[in-house]
């Protein structure tokens, strides 16, 4: 599981009063022959008055994208993201990827994983 692609994109600024915006996204190739999966997305705004603000894509969204990359189905409720898979191997591989890239320890039970947020 290697990081293959990271981008930093400055936004176009119309005037000096508008904030400068930079976006950083990190993608990884989880399985050979599959599409890249986003594991991080941060937007940083540098305001004219010196303030700096950051926005990140929600953890729930990133976890959902990773579960779907392993061909799982996702359900979210009460601070938990649950992934349902066809085989225990898919669930185990997804759980390992989540632990590696998101530093969360999913609970693994057969063909399901549960991640507390």
Structure confidence at residue 37 (pLDDT): 87
Structure confidence at residue 95 (pLDDT): 96
Handedness of CA 83, 84, 86, 91 (dihedral sign): positive
Pick out the chain residues at pLDDT < 50: 1, 4, 13-14
pLDDT in tens, 22-53: 998 888 887 777 788 888 889 999 998 889 99
Q: What is the pTM of this model?
A: 0.74
Average per-residue pLDDT for the chain? 86
64-68 contacts at long range (C-beta below 8 A, 24 or more positions apart): 65/37, 65/38, 66/30, 66/37, 66/39, 66/94, 66/97, 66/98, 66/101, 66/102, 67/94, 67/113
How many other CB atoms are there within 10 angstroms of residue 60's CB atom? 15
């Amino acid at each position: 599981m290697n990081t293959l692609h990271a981008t930093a994109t400055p936004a176009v600024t119309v005037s000096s009063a508008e904030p400068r915006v930079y976006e950083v996204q990190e993608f990884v190739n989880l399985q050979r022959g599959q599409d890249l999966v986003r594991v991080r997305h941060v937007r940083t705004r540098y305001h004219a008055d010196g303030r700096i603000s950051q926005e990140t894509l929600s953890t729930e969204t990133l976890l959902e994208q990773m579960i779907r990359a392993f061909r799982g189905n996702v359900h979210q409720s009460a601070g938990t993201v649950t992934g349902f898979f066809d085989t225990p191997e898919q669930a185990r591989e997804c759980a390992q990827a989540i632990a590696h890239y998101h530093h969360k320890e999913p609970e693994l039970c057969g063909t399901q994983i549960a991640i507390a947020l």
